[in-house]
Each structure stands twice: as structure tokens, then as C-alpha cells.
Amino acid sequence: MKLQHYLGGLENLGPVSTDVRVFVEPWETRIFGIHTAMMALSSQLPLPKTPSTFTTVWTWADLRKGAESLNPFDYFKYRYYEKWLGGISGYFIANGYITAEELDALTEEYYKNPSKPLPVAGAAEIDERVVRYIVEGDSPKRDVQVTFEFTVGDTIAIRNVPTVEHTRLPGFLRDKTGTIETVYDGAYTYLCDTGPDGVGEAMPVYCVRFEPAALWPGNAEPNFSLYADLYASYLAPLEGEIATAKAA
């Protein structure tokens, strides 16, 4: 697993930035806008058709996969929206919207002439769909029947799943045990498949309570608990409980 998949709970990674600005440079607003438009125009959404040539699926999940699939050295070298730009660019190349050679040529063109006007769009149908998407969003909840393996109060184990592109499982919870605090009603996806990490089709989601002393022995404050909402694919029965169930 790549380090950038689970920075939480790790020490000695350097100072934490306290900059609260959403955008540091003007170009970052454009990257945010491109990302938002891609989500709004994704083909899986039940929204009105537009003249946009964007015909594939892009979600928040795809954005995270694009950033975290970077080489770790690149991930820590680039700034936040630079990682966004890399993930979006890679997606356009992988899905045939532009070739790497065409992108490189355009990049050099704008380096040589930064004042060159950017392409102008402005289809009203596209703007209306983007606004509607921002208002309505894209819920991960799905109307499908699922089986709930655990109930409130169950003690469960957390799997150490193989992660290649992205994960929703914090590293410090892997191979630990916790207690089911809440069983959420319904089934949920993550908007994209995480591959061998295990999140794909809609599944139950549980709120699991952990005791910090068990997560960080000898290095945790007392009198509090940590809670994590986790997909069912990350949870497993304790081996002892499995053996007891077979004997019964």
C-alpha cells in the first residue's frame, strides 16, 4: 500500500499546514470548476442531455483515485490542486479525450504565450445541468436489498485489504478490532469501484467504535472513543466467534 493512502495516525511527517484559504492561486479555481463540471456531466446521472462531448463517468471517488495513484514521490512533491490537475489530465488521456502528445503540445503553447485566450464555451444547457447537479448532488445510497452480517454490539475485526488506487479504510484501523455502534439503514456505494480494496456494488455501512488504547498502545489519551463509518467489505467476524458459531 502506498503511504499517501492513509496518512492519519502517522508521526514525524513534518509540520501540518494551517493555511485556511480554499484557493491559493487563481488557476486553482478553474481546476475546481473543471472537476465540478465533469461530475455534473457524468453519464450515469439522470439529468437532461446536453451538447457536451463529455460522455463518461467522473466522481469525487475518481478524483481521489487519480491523485492517490500517483507515485508517492510525486504525491508529496505536488500541491493539492496540482494533484487534482494530474488526476484529471490522466483521466482525459486514459479515456481518449486527448492524447498525451496533444496535451504536451498545448502545454508548451501556453507556456510560450501565457496571454493566449482559452477556448470559449457557454452552452446554456450545460450551465443549467451543472447548477442542478450542485443543488441535487449524487447520493451514494442505493435502493437495493442487502444482507446485514453484523448487529449493534458485535465485536468485529478490521481486514487489511490490498489497496492499489484508493481506499476508504484508515491505515491505523487495519488488523484491529472494534464494536458495532450503528447499523445504517440501506445500502451504499462509493460512486466508483476501488478494485481489490473491496468497495464496488452497494453494501451495508456500519459505524464502528474503537478504543484508542488498543489502536495506539501506550500512546493514547484515556476516556474517549474513536468512531469510524466503514463499508461492510472492510469488516470480518472475529475468528473466535466463527469457531463458536460452527460449534453451535
Confidence band, pLDDT 50/70/90 cuts, at residue 1: very low
Residue 122: the pLDDT is 79
Which helix (H) or strand (E) is 64 found in, with range? helix 60-68
The mean pLDDT value of the chain amounts to: 89
* CB of 156 closer than 8 Å to CB of 167: no
Whether residue 77 has pLDDT greater than 90: no
Q: What is the mean pLDDT of residues 79-87?
A: 91
Whether residue 234 has pLDDT greater than 70: yes
Closest CA to 127 of 32, 60, 41, 27: 41
Whether residue 241 has pLDDT greater than 70: no
What CA–CA distance (Å, rounded) separates 169 from 6? 8
How far is CA 223 from each of CA 83, 158, 212, 228, rounded to the nearest angstrom? 38, 22, 9, 17
Whether residue 226 has pLDDT greater than 70: yes
DSSP 93-149: HHTTSS-HHHHHHHHHHHHH-TTSPPP----HHHHHHHHHHHHH----EE-------
CB atoms within 10 A of CB 79: 11
* CB of 227 closer than 8 Å to CB of 240: no
User: Is the model more confident about 247 or about 208?
Assistant: 208
Confidence band, pLDDT 50/70/90 cuts, at residue 7: low
Residue 240: the pLDDT is 57
Question: Per mean pLDDT, which range of 71-75, 78-82, 92-96, 219-223 is the poorest?
Answer: 71-75
Q: What is the mean pLDDT of residues 135-142?
A: 91
- Whether the model pTM is above 0.85: no
Q: What is the pLDDT of residues 147-204, one digit of tens each?
A: 999 999 999 999 999 887 788 998 889 999 999 999 999 999 988 888 888 998 999 9
Q: What is the pLDDT of residues 31-62, one digit of tens each?
A: 999 999 999 999 999 999 999 999 999 998 88
Q: What is the mean pLDDT of residues 107-113?
A: 95
Closest CA to 235 of 166, 147, 164: 147
Residue 10: the pLDDT is 66
Angle CA(184)–CA(190)–CA(195) in degrees, nearest 5?
125
Confidence band, pLDDT 50/70/90 cuts, at residue 5: low
Residue 247: the pLDDT is 37
Place of cell 465540478: 36
Whether residue 13 has pLDDT greater than 90: no
Percent helix, percent strand, percent coil in the chain, to nearest 5:
40, 10, 50
